[in-house]
């Protein structure tokens, strides 16, 4: 099966799951994200460590990421602009990233923003090698966004 067909099937499954589970998410772009009030200055002021970027670059082939976040969420505000700056600094068009903005949970009993991937908290950065999940950063990195990405993707 071609890579494009796989992406279409995965996206269709996500859309179907969203409609069945009643949660709300929207695919967004970098431009959409940086229009969120207060996020552009964080992106602009962050300077990723060049040594860690160089360490990360050779680990990118065959990898991708999916990010779930809330524009209303402080952890998302603190981490998503940094992630965007890292991705832009790496400048690798083959490293695919899909961003999904989620609404607040609609009911106290709603456990997941994305049930099929068990996304319970935002932001959640899910990293893949091919189709296999290789790691996550949930809410906040353990060390820093860039250091955690190196740890997961290497």
DSSP the chain: --HHHHHHHHHHHHHHHHHHHT--EEEE-HHHHHTSTTHHHHHHH----HHHHHHHGGG-TTEEEEEEE-TT-HHHHHHHHHHHHHHHHHT-TTSEEEEEEEPPPSSTT---SBTTTTB-SSSEEEEEETTEEEEEEESS-SS-HHHHHHHHH-
Task: Enumerate domains of the chain plus CATH numbers.
Answer: 3-153 (3.40.30.10)
pTM: 0.82
Q: What does the pLDDT look like over 36-68, one tens digit per residue?
A: 999 999 999 999 999 999 999 999 999 999 999
Q: What percent of the chain has pLDDT over 90?
A: 73
Q: What does the pLDDT look like over 136-150, one tens digit per residue?
A: 999 999 999 999 999
């Amino acid at each position: 099966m071609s890579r494009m067909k796989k992406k279409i099937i995965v996206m269709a499954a996500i859309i179907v799951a969203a409609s069945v589970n009643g949660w709300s998410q929207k695919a967004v772009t970098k431009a959409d994200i940086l229009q969120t009030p207060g996020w552009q200055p964080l992106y602009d002021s962050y300077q990723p460590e060049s040594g860690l970027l160089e360490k990360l670059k050779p680990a990118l082939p065959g990898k991708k990421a999916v990010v779930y976040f809330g524009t209303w969420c402080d952890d998302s505000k603190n981490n998503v602009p940094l992630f965007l700056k890292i991705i832009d600094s790496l400048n690798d068009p083959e490293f695919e990233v899909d961003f999904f903005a989620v609404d607040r949970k609609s009911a106290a009993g709603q456990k997941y923003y994305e049930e099929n991937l068990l996304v319970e908290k935002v932001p959640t950065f899910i990293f893949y090698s091919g189709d296999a999940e290789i790691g996550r950063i949930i809410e906040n990195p353990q060390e820093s966004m860039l250091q955690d990405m190196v740890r997961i993707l290497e």
